[in-house]
Amino acid sequence: MLTLCITAAVTYLLTGPVRKFAIVAGAMPEIRARDVHREPTPRLGGIAMFFGLCAGLLTADHLTNLSQLFERSNEPRALLSGAALIWLIGVLDDKFEIDALIKLGGQMIAAGVMVMQGLTILWLPVPGVGTVALTQWQGTLLTVALVVITINAVNFVDGLDGLAAGMVCIASAAFFMYAYRIWYSYGIEAAAPATLFAAILMGMCLGFLPHNMHPARIFMGDSGSMLIGLVLAAGAISITGQVDPDSLFGGSERSTVHQMVPVYIPLVMPLTIIAIPAADLILAIVRRTWRGQSPFAADRGHLHHRLLEIGHSHSRAVLIMYFWSALIGFGALTYSVHSASMWIVLSVVILSALGLVLLLLPRFTPRAPRWAEAVVPPRYRRRAAPATAPDASAPADAESVDDHRAPVAAGVSGVNGASAVGSRARVVDRSRPR
Annotated binding-site members for Mg(2+): 155, 222
DSSP 167-220: HHHHHHHHHHHHHHHHHHTS--GGGHHHHHHHHHHHHHHHHHHHHHSSSPS---
Helix (H, G, I), strand (E, B) or coil at 100: helix
d(CA 62, CA 68): 10
Helix (H, G, I), strand (E, B) or coil at 6: helix
Kindly give the interhelix angle for 314-337 and 257-273, rounded to the nearest 10 degrees.
150
| Cβ atoms of 214 and 17 closer than 8 Å | no
* Amino acid at residue number 399: E
Helix (H, G, I), strand (E, B) or coil at 272: helix
Which amino acids are annotated as binding site, given as ranges?
Answer: 155, 222
d(CA 403, CA 310): 18
Helix (H, G, I), strand (E, B) or coil at 133: strand
| Cβ atoms of 156 and 281 closer than 8 Å | yes
* Amino acid at residue number 65: N
